[in-house]
A = this chain, B = another copy of it.
Amino acid sequence: MSFSPLIRQLIDALRILPGVGQKTAQRMALQLLERDRSGGLRLAQALTRAMEGVGHCKQCHTLSEDELCPQCADPRRDDSLLCVVQGPMDVFAVEQTGFRGRYFVLKGHLSPLDGLGPEAIGIPDLMARIDQGGFSEVILATNPTVEGEATAHYIAQLLMPKGLVVSRIAHGVPLGGELDLVDGGTLAHALAGRKPIHL
C-alpha cells in the first residue's frame, strides 16, 4: 500500500517516460504534488495538446502540428542541400551543427527481419521529394550503425542514376574522446579517412 490510488496511478503513468523507473517516478509524483501542482497541470495540458495535435510535416515528415515544420517553412535556407536522417531527434542534432539546408526524415532504418522495407520507412516519399527537384547534393545522415549504413547504401543506389552528389557523413574518432576508448571499427575508419595537416 503506502500511496493512495490517484498517487499510485500517477507513479505508474510516469514510468512510461524513457529512463524513469519506480523510484524516480515516485520522486516526480510527490514533488509535483507537494511543490508544483500548477506545473503538473501545465504538463498535463501540454501533453494532451501535443499527443492530439502533432502530426507530420507534409514535406520532410518530421513531427509538426503545422503543415510545414519550422525548417521547411523557413525561406532563408539552402534549397540545394537535402539532409536525410532517421528521426526527428536527428534534425535537432544536425541543426545544432549549424547546417541550414533542407531535411527529409525517415521512419527509422531498413529492417527486413522486422518487415520494415523501403515503403515502411518512407523511401518512396523521399524519392518523390528529390524528384520535385532543386537539390544538388543529398547528404545521407542515417546512424553510423550496421542498419543505418545499409539504409544509406540502399538510398545511394537509388539516387545513382539521378546525377546528384550523394554524400555520407564522415566516420572518425569523436572530438574529446580518448583513443584507447574508441572501438576498432571507428578507429579504422578514422585512419582510412586521415587528412594531411596544413600548417
Contacts and interface: CB of A to CB of B under 8 A. Distances in A.
Given A24-B19, A34-B63, A63-B30, A4 B54 contact: yes
B26 A65 contact: no
Contacts of A31: 17-18
Name the prevailing secondary structure of the A interface residues.
helix
Given A16-B42, A50-B9, A92 B4 contact: no
Interface in A44-59: 44-54
Contact of A7 (B5, B18, B40, B54): B54
Contacts of A63: 3-4, 7, 30, 33-34
B89 A46 contact: no
Nearest to A31: B18
Contact of A36 (B4, B16, B41, B69): B16
The number of chain A residues touching the other chain, given as a range, is: 35 or more
Contacts of A44: 43-45, 47-48, 51
Contacts of A37: 51
A119 interface: no
Contacts of A88: 30, 33-34
A16 B32 contact: yes
A19 B14 CA distance: 13
A87 interface: yes
20 contacts: A1-B70, A1-B74, A4-B54, A4-B70, A5-B65, A6-B65, A7-B63, A10-B49, A13-B46, A16-B36, A16-B40, A18-B27, A27-B89, A30-B63, A30-B89, A32-B47, A34-B88, A40-B51, A41-B48, A44-B47
Interface of A: 1-7, 9-10, 12-14, 16-19, 24, 26-34, 36-37, 39-54, 63-66, 69-71, 74, 87-89, 91-92, 95
